[in-house]
Structure 1
Amino acid sequence: MVYQLRPYQRDAVNSVITHFRKTDDPALLVLPTGAGKSLVISELGRIARGRVLVLAHVKELVEQNHAKYESYDLKASVFSAGLGRKEASEQVVFGSVQSVVRNLNSFDDENYTLLVIDECHRVSLEKTSSYHKVIRHLQSLNPRLKVLGLTATPYRLGLGWLYQYDCKGSVRTEDKRFFKDCIFELPLSYMVKHGFLTPAEMIDAPVVFYDFSQLTTDSFGRYSEADLNKLLKDKTRATRQIIHHVVDEAKNRKGVMIFASTVDHAKEIMGYLPEKESALIIGDTPGKERDQLIESFKQQHIKYLVNVSVLTTGFDAPHVDLIAILRPTESVSLYQQIVGRGLRLAPDKEDCLVMDFAGNRYNLYSPEIGAPKPDSKAVPVIVPCPACGHDNTFWGIVDDDGDLVEHYGRRCQGFEEFETERIQCDFRYRFKECNQCGAENDIAARKCHQCQNPMIDPDQKLRDALNLKNCMVIRCSGMQMEEDSDRKNNIRIKITYHDEEGAEIAEYFRLDTPAQQDAFYHHFGKHALINRAEAFKASSVSVVIQQQKKFRKPDFVIAQKQKHYWQVLDKLFDYQGKYRKAEEL
């Protein structure tokens, strides 16, 4: 059988060839569900001059990738204990990482030139992980080994971006990553628009839904199972109604996947589904039983498949045409992975119904931002950098007309490439100023990136002020700007900061001269402007008051008592620390 690559698949393959001709740095491809990763892998294996090892974390993916490769009359070996085969004689080998790492002596061959890792978001940052052991072994035999990763989820909450630089000129993380570059990325919207995936029919506002907004996540962006169970225990009636709704909508559907929050939740869901048409798969489901259930579902002997965090990747059942989400999803990527289970093309399949009962509120076609959604109203926004012109994508708030009200970006993600290095643009939208040299630093920085001096801890500032009798700290709940005049009738702007308990402090700025306007910007404007990328000149008091919506209030204001008035000493914006802010009641 002769295969033909789709245009984007050819582009992906060409990007790999171009990259590895220039460098041996590990790279990855971002391809959404249904993009045909197996075909891209097959083409890379076919054209490779040396030997190729393709790794996956589960036997299902090993089997799928191998079957796709051999369907094109190409020969390859399989090395996977789960599949009952440990062969490594062919030029291309498809293996499970667990089996390969336990049998590294079977891969003592310096002719391996390319290592492909499918679902590479599974590669741990720990150098002692199985993947890294395999990589080190092959590199010890061939120092110029090329390592390529493929994934649909390049960002993981708690771990961050899998790579440092993307193919569109953005810095994704300042931290070192094993995969240095994303060399090709295909958006999900392209796949649907060009008919390579089934359109999703979204039901975003069902009558009954869960509210997970009160729950907090750990440092890895995960919800506690105990917290989820506690919340869901009081939602039995809601769960029953939700499943009845799903069953009703599924009357004319062929395959239904239900994503539950916890094992207890999944078992409850099973109690409301037709017994002979339903199956449950969880992490503890024995491998043989799991295989039988999945095959039964694929053959459409059962209609409903309930799972808990085990079928978000590496699962291919094209007939699925209804996805019910009954769990919170922590990122755009995970949400797209879940919905993607139902977007593959199949005969007589017109769309996939997506029912979100967890209030995730993600746009299926949104780009990954690389940060948790800071506000339920937040949407991806494009923010140009005034320094380098790079178009940044951040979370932001827009008004009814679609105009930007506020965004949550900290630093421009653009970079400039030189012969031996890449330098990130240093423009910052939110920053903490160094008291020693005046350099702008990230709001979480502990030492200045310019002079290396320690940054003053905001908690220490607040503690010191609270311990002084002649100091006052305003936990700012509101800010007001108005025109005022001094004793000589000079017009000035009065900015009043209101405490949630009724106290207030004011500071004043005249704007008659360029020096006064610079002072206003230095002491207030550059910290308070919601969008520093937008040009703003404080040319007069009236101009500032007319555009006061462009400024945000500080979190805390520190003032010191003078003879007849209170003098503002400091204003803390973007506060992160142990003290409660006014809005966090």
Structure 2
Amino acid sequence: MYKLRNYQEVTINRIYEQLKLGHRSIMVQQPPRTGKTVIMAEIARRATRKGNSVLFLVHRKELVDQARRTFEEQGVDMSLVTMGMVQTMTRHVGELSEPTIIMIDEAHHVLAKSYRRIIDAFPRAVRIMVTATPWRMNGAGFEGVADCLIPGQSMGNLIKHGFLAPIRYFRPPDINTAELKTKANGEFDEQSVAEALKPKIYSNAVKMYLAHARGMQAIAYAYNVQSAKQLAKNFNDAGISAAEVDGATPKEERDRLIQRYRDGKITILTNAELFTEGLDLPNVDCVIMMRPTQSLSLYLQFSMRAMNPRAGKTAVIIDHVDNLSRFGLPIDERSWTLKGTQTAGRKHGETITPTTTCPYCFATFYRKGRKTCPICGRKLTVPDEESGPVHIDADLVEVSQAKQQAKRRVEIAHMIRDSEMMKWIADKTPDQLENMIQLQYYARLHGYKPGWAYVVGKKRGFVR
């Protein structure tokens, strides 16, 4: 049986306190690498000891096998547990016996129809939903499925007491990004616009690994399967044992490579979106990010993969795509909430349609099917998606964590101020705005480029 860590006991006690207060649908935020499955296994052990039944849901087969081992080692009466992938359970929901408790792992996925179908089928069951990131990229909230949120322990506290490893974080340097060129008539050159819009990866991955993490076992996240294969080849060519694993790798081969990695016979595992949620690989000391993401959930799963603790260990995170600029350090403290951040008027769960901003007149519109801007008529450039990201050979620099966290505190203060301003201008029209600052906030609220505020401000006489 696992010996619970004190912070896990604290979380379990908080869950029971909320149950005593009458909450029946509890979401628990627990940072990656801090034993979410152990917490659920202990609650399941106590529940089955009293004869209560448990339905445990995950979204990947590997997680089922891993959770089953943890539950068995924790002494759960497995005769009272139904465990499986949500994709399977939702197809057979009519055949399931009503559980006393529904447990959901990686619960930021819970808004999906497959989960909702099971939840709605058993309205009397207590729900305990655990996730590292109660956050959805489309801005949807969790108030429809949870009636309380229990935040996890602070990152600083977990590191201080040795439950997570401290980190060194390397990112691209502050390179001059003023890449747009102008033509003789003063307008932007179309080709330079296309080039500037391409995502960038700061290479060389092998060089940066040798400089900052030589000898450490690492997982590298690539932006597609081909790049993952090429990255593994680059490491092998440099005499560093590496293997590529992806969703198409046969299960037997994948298991064999993962075991060789666990045994220390492979130093680098490269993959494209495979080793993200849940899979236990305790000997990862370094993470190499070659894939940019807009998902906070993925970013934390990527970056914290290396933070399993060991005496004297400092994890190394090598961020070649500057995900840091979007999300801050993985050890930053974050305020979690059940409330969403949807734009007013958008339906619950509605897909957000991507928009495009014209680089000439700054109009924002839906791009799909358009070759020209509907406002100014200029031809729209099309980034070369087939060629993949642009690679730039530049040495990465280490992030000062104290400076980065101070910057984060300032950003939070600005967010509070910005929120008040956004509320004030939400029901205003551009002609009701009185200065450049209000125009700039209006542009941000509606997704316009900063140049929109300048153009309108010039016309209104705010800019001399």
Quick check: 1:123 aligned with 2:123? Answer: no
For each residue in 1:10-69, what CA deviation from the matched residue of structure 2 results, as whole angstroms up to 9, or x when unmatched? 221122222223335422111112211122112111222421111111122222222122
Q: Of 231, 236, 253, which aligns to 1:289?
A: 253
In the alignment, residue 127 of structure 2 is paired with which amino acid? V
Question: Relative to structure 1, is the Cα distance of residues 456 and 17 closer, same or farther in structure 2, using a 3 angstrom cutoff?
Answer: same
Q: Percent same amino acid at aligned positions? A: 24
Q: Of 228, 243, 252, which aligns to 1:279?
A: 243
Alignment match, 1:27: 26
Query: Structure 1, unaligned stretches of length 5 or more?
Result: 77-89, 165-176, 215-226, 373-377, 383-393, 399-403, 412-427, 434-442, 444-454, 463-522, 529-551, 557-570
Cα distance in 1 for partners of 2:246, 2:177 equals 23
Per the TM alignment, residue 96 of structure 1 is displaced from its structure 2 partner at its CA by: 1.9
Alignment match, 2:132: 152
Alignment match, 2:160: 193
Question: Relative to structure 1, is the Cα distance of residues 102 and 328 closer, same or farther in structure 2, using a 3 angstrom cutoff?
Answer: same
Q: Of 246, 271, 277, which aligns to 1:313?
A: 277
Cα distance in 1 for partners of 2:39, 2:423 equals 43
Cα distance in 2 for partners of 1:574, 1:43 equals 46
Cα distance in 2 for partners of 1:157, 1:191 equals 26
Cα distance in 1 for partners of 2:32, 2:437 equals 43
For each residue in 1:454-492, what CA deviation from the matched residue of structure 2 results, as whole angstroms up to 9, or x when unmatched? x4644xx49xxxxxxxxxxxxxxxxxxxxxxxxxxxxxx
In the alignment, residue 353 of structure 1 is paired with which amino acid? V
Alignment match, 2:73: 71
Per the TM alignment, residue 264 of structure 1 is displaced from its structure 2 partner at its CA by: 3.6
Cα distance in 2 for partners of 1:180, 1:213 equals 49
Alignment match, 2:83: 94
Cα distance in 1 for partners of 2:226, 2:176 equals 16
Q: Which moved more, 1:20-29 or 1:49-58?
A: 20-29
Question: Relative to structure 1, is the Cα distance of residues 264 and 72 closer, same or farther in structure 2, using a 3 angstrom cutoff?
Answer: closer
Cα distance in 1 for partners of 2:10, 2:313 equals 28
Question: Relative to structure 1, is the Cα distance of residues 431 and 336 closer, same or farther in structure 2, using a 3 angstrom cutoff?
Answer: same
Alignment match, 2:191: none
Quick check: 1:182 aligned with 2:171? Answer: no
Quick check: 1:363 aligned with 2:247? Answer: no
Alignment match, 1:421: none
Per the TM alignment, residue 572 of structure 1 is displaced from its structure 2 partner at its CA by: 6.3
User: What is the CA RMSD across the aligned residues, in angstroms?
Assistant: 4.0
Cα distance in 1 for partners of 2:118, 2:126 equals 13
Secondary structure of the equivalent of 1:261?
A: coil
Cα distance in 1 for partners of 2:290, 2:176 equals 8
Is contact 2:293-2:323 (8 Å) kept?
yes
Is contact 1:316-1:341 (8 Å) kept?
no
Cα distance in 1 for partners of 2:307, 2:455 equals 40
Per the TM alignment, residue 573 of structure 1 is displaced from its structure 2 partner at its CA by: 7.7
For each residue in 1:232-272, what CA deviation from the matched residue of structure 2 results, as whole angstroms up to 9, or x when unmatched? 6x97xx53x3323314544332x111112233432332331
Is contact 1:321-1:353 (8 Å) kept?
yes
Cα distance in 2 for partners of 1:192, 1:322 equals 16
Cα distance in 2 for partners of 1:213, 1:133 equals 49
Per the TM alignment, residue 281 of structure 1 is displaced from its structure 2 partner at its CA by: 2.5
Question: Relative to structure 1, is the Cα distance of residues 210 and 317 closer, same or farther in structure 2, using a 3 angstrom cutoff?
Answer: farther
Larger helix proportion of the pair: 2
Cα distance in 1 for partners of 2:147, 2:195 equals 36
Query: Structure 2, unaligned stretches of length 5 or more?
Result: 181-193, 343-402, 457-464
For each residue in 1:506-554, what CA deviation from the matched residue of structure 2 results, as whole angstroms up to 9, or x when unmatched? xxxxxxxxxxxxxxxxx97xxx8xxxxxxxxxxxxxxxxxxxxxxx733
Per the TM alignment, residue 8 of structure 1 is displaced from its structure 2 partner at its CA by: 1.9
Alignment match, 1:243: 206
For each residue in 1:293-316, what CA deviation from the matched residue of structure 2 results, as whole angstroms up to 9, or x when unmatched? 322222222111112222121121
Is contact 1:53-1:92 (8 Å) kept?
yes
Q: Larger Cα Rg: Structure 1 or Structure 2?
A: 1
Is contact 1:29-1:149 (8 Å) kept?
yes
In the alignment, residue 364 of structure 1 is paired with which amino acid? P
Q: TM-score, normalised by structure 2?
A: 0.68
Question: Relative to structure 1, is the Cα distance of residues 211 and 311 closer, same or farther in structure 2, using a 3 angstrom cutoff?
Answer: farther
Higher relative contact order (CA 8 A, sep 6+): 2
Secondary structure of the equivalent of 1:33?
A: coil
Is contact 1:30-1:153 (8 Å) kept?
yes
Larger strand proportion of the pair: 1
